[in-house]
Amino acid sequence: MTHGLKPSNRRRRTRAIAAAAAFAVAIPLTAGSPALADPNFPSTEGSTNISSIATYADLVAQLERLERTSRFGVDVTTLAEVGTEVSTSEQGRDLYVATVGDGPEAVWLQGRIHGNEPYGTESLLSVLKELGTNGSPDWSLLRETYTFHVIPMYNPDGSELNIRQTVLQDGSNQRIDLNRDWGDGKFVADESEAFYEYWTMVDPAFAIDIHHQGLKTEYGTGDDVTLSLGISLAPGGPTLPGIEGGAYDVLTRQMHVHVYDELAKYGNINMDRYQVGGSLEIDIKGGVVSAMMLGYDYKGLNPEGHSNPAIFFETSGNTSDGSLGQKARGKSIRQNVLALQEVLLGMATGEVQQEDPARWEEIPHAPVTGYQTDTGVTPLF
């Protein structure tokens, strides 16, 4: 394990540990001792059992139960009820959003935009349950500071098919990656039009997106990575420093540094920076969270040019390559929940905004050789 970052504030760590301990009691985890767990938790031996993964019907049932039983007002709605012009998936499924909290700023939490990346759904349902039921000071602070818009299954059709994309129903059967479908000449799929319009209604202060990646090892050490921290427009890259006077270039790195610090104490979580092709920083504009940061205006729905910073998490292992690892399920979900909890609390308390963004360089990563853009690779040298 490589924990390159040092705790910068002892008092802060104590509070975070207390919060995590409270959390561990509140959420039932898998049997076994996390302290003794194999750090290499997703494995190539993990035959993926799709039947254990949350289905669309599971999602709807769990959302309705949370709405019924939550002390703190979880509201479950469909985009048809919200009244967006396009309001269902390509195959006609309702698109669900749950809201909770009374705070003045909106926060957008989305998962499973890639249908074969299942734990975004379960991680967000776990966070939603805490937001709806947990009366502790931390969760109360979150509800007072923010109104959360939680989208646990952005891509229900792909989820039911266990594929990354959605499938167009115009006769072409074309598969569309919904995370490349906000941008010029895009918005091909109904899901994109629907959630984009909803985003222009919400105008969130920031967004977090949950994904899976394949098995990955840390550059330099070869240790298995369990969680990669991503920003879809590379900090210091061709695009992000030019947005909002560089504010998102700073804040997204601060968010990563904070999550890294707070999760590095868990022995079975090993983090690095999300890169592609071994050594490329991602700088794609068609991703949903990229378009959010760019303040994309489609059909005149965002005339004021609202934009917001966004980061994403990539849990290692996915259903497509059979590497999900059934035994890792609880740990994979838990690390997402912890990461979400810590970044949300850090934003609410202002701890994130006080992090040193330059320490983003200390998060393990391969030496950067270039940028992966929408149209190809831009080499650094």
Nearest distance from C-beta of residue 116 to Zn ion, angstroms: 8
Taking CB positions, which residue lies at the least distance from Zn ion?
211
Nearest distance from C-beta of residue 315 to Zn ion, angstroms: 10
Q: Does 211 bind Zn ion (CB under 5 A)?
A: yes
Backbone angles phi, psi at 87, to 5 degrees: -135, 5
Give how many residues touch Zn ion by CB under 5 A. 3
Which residue of 93, 112, 114, 329 would you call a contact of Zn ion, by CB under 5 A? 114
Tokens 């504009």, located at residue: 285
Nearest distance from C-beta of residue 234 to Zn ion, angstroms: 17
User: 59 to each of 52, 122, 137, how far by Cα in Å?
Assistant: 13, 9, 28
Nearest distance from C-beta of residue 319 to Zn ion, angstroms: 12
Please say which residue, 20 or 288, places its beta carbon nearer to Zn ion.
Answer: 288
CB count within 10 Å of CB 314 equals 23
CA distance 281 to 274: 8
Please say which residue, 161 or 301, places its beta carbon nearer to Zn ion.
Answer: 161
Nearest by Cα to 9 from 359, 299, 278, 251: 359
Q: Does 180 bind Zn ion (CB under 5 A)?
A: no
CA distance 329 to 42: 9
Stretch that binds Zn ion, among 38-46, 64-72, 210-218, 262-270 (CB under 5 A): 210-218
Residues between 240 and 299 that touch Zn ion (CB under 5 A): none
- List CB contacts of 244: < 8 A, sequence separation 6 or more: 307
81 three-class SS: helix
Please say which residue, 200 or 373, places its beta carbon nearer to Zn ion.
Answer: 373
Please say which residue, 232 or 239, places its beta carbon nearer to Zn ion.
Answer: 232
Please say which residue, 93 or 114, places its beta carbon nearer to Zn ion.
Answer: 114
Stretch that binds Zn ion, among 61-69, 115-123, 225-233, 298-306 (CB under 5 A): 115-123
CA distance 356 to 253: 8
Q: Does 112 bind Zn ion (CB under 5 A)?
A: no
Nearest by Cα to 118 from 85, 149, 153, 89: 153
Nearest distance from C-beta of residue 213 to Zn ion, angstroms: 7
CA distance 287 to 39: 31
Residues binding Zn ion (CB under 5 A): 114, 117, 211
